[in-house]
């Protein structure tokens, strides 16, 4: 892991006309090259945190530093260049008439010269495995493909940080796993530091580190295994434990010698398969 790329110290934010804060004295840091998942039930403050990280709103107190720059009215545009966001609804983000137009849009907005644009469209669509779809219109694409085009549009402008704000929550299981696999490949190549904001613990299990928010406060922080060991405490704050984790526990209770509480169906199936071989 590298140096700290985001530092957040004691930030608080209360929306206009609201009595309780959406974020209450939250501190966290993100290291260059890691994948951090921020999870929490509805209303826990996840989207507010994402909006602050992208400079869409400023905290009323506390300090935010992104890539060594303190967030303020003056630095918002500098910080936004470092942070790319992919949102929940694939259809709301598709602004071009074709895949190539869509990826070109952000590059044009950033004043990238034409020759460089062509190179970056080629590179970014290959990174998300959408290079064969350049002339396709959005209605020919699945939700997962549209989200991968949105990711291509983000990485084409070369931000340091990619924030996924519930970016897989409207996708079917295949689309979700394609998007998460794309994100993992980008992270493994060091192309972006990833922050995924989600209420889905199965998605969080794929991250290097997880922060749990509850009612605007940090509830827990740790590796996915450390977080899942909180078990019923996560259920109490409205989160659903992953299916593979629940099945692992039930199998153990039933006397099946499972070695660990699996965080993905793939790893559970792999272990079940070895058990079957021993029979």
Interaction of residue 40 with ligand ATP, rule CB under 6 A: yes
Minimum distance from residue 89 beta carbon to ligand ATP (Å): 13
222 beta partners: 210
Within 10 A of 189 (CB to CB), how many other CB atoms are there?
A: 10
Report DSSP letters for 88-104, one per residue: S-HHHH--SSSHHHHHH
Minimum distance from residue 73 beta carbon to ligand ATP (Å): 19
Of 166, 178, 202, 203, the active-site residue reads 166
> Given candidates 28, 35, 36, 47, which one binds ligand ATP under the rule CB under 6 A?
47
Interaction of residue 43 with ligand ATP, rule CB under 6 A: yes
**212 and 201 in contact (C-beta within 8 Å)?**
no
Phi, psi of 95 (to 5 degrees): -100, -20
Q: Among residues 15 and 269, whose Cβ is nearest to ligand ATP?
A: 15
Interaction of residue 18 with ligand ATP, rule CB under 6 A: yes
Phi, psi of 276 (to 5 degrees): -60, -35
Q: Give the pairing type, strands 217-222 and 193-198.
A: unpaired
166 is annotated as an active-site residue: yes
Region of 46-54, 118-126, 141-149, 178-186 interacting with ligand ATP (CB under 6 A):
46-54
Minimum distance from residue 160 beta carbon to ligand ATP (Å): 23
Which residues of the shown chain bind ligand ATP in the complex (CB under 6 A)?
15, 18, 22, 40, 42-48, 199
Catalytic residues: 166
């Amino acid at each position: 892991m590298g140096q700290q790329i985001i530092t957040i110290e004691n930030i608080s934010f209360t929306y206009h006309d609201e009595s309780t804060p959406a974020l209450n004295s939250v501190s966290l840091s993100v290291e260059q090259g890691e994948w951090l998942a921020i999870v929490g039930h509805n209303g826990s403050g996840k989207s507010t945190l994402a909006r602050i990280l992208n400079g869409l709103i400023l905290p009323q107190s506390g300090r935010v530093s992104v890539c060594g720059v303190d967030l303020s009215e003056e630095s918002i545009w500098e910080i936004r260049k470092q942070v790319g966001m992919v949102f929940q609804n694939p259809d709301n983000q598709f602004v071009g008439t074709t895949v190539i137009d869509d990826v070109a849009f952000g590059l044009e907005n950033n004043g990238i010269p034409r020759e460089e644009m062509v190179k970056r469209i080629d590179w970014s669509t290959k990174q998300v495995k959408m290079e064969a779809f350049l002339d396709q219109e959005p209605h020919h694409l699945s939700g997962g493909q549209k989200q991968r085009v949105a990711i291509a549009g983000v990485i084409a402008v070369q931000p340091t940080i990619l924030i996924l704000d519930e970016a897989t929550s409207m996708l079917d299981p295949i689309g979700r796993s394609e998007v998460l696999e794309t994100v993992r490949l980008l992270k493994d190549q060091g192309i972006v530091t990833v922050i995924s904001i989600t209420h889905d613990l199965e998605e969080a299990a794929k991250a290097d580190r997880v922060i749990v928010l509850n009612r605007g406060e940090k509830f827990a922080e740790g590796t996915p295994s450390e977080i899942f060991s909180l078990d019923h405490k996560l259920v109490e704050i409205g989160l659903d434990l992953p299916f593979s984790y629940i099945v692992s526990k039930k199998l153990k209770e039933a006397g099946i010698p499972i070695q660990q509480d699996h965080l993905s169906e793939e790893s559970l199936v792999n272990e079940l398969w070895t058990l079957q071989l021993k029979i």
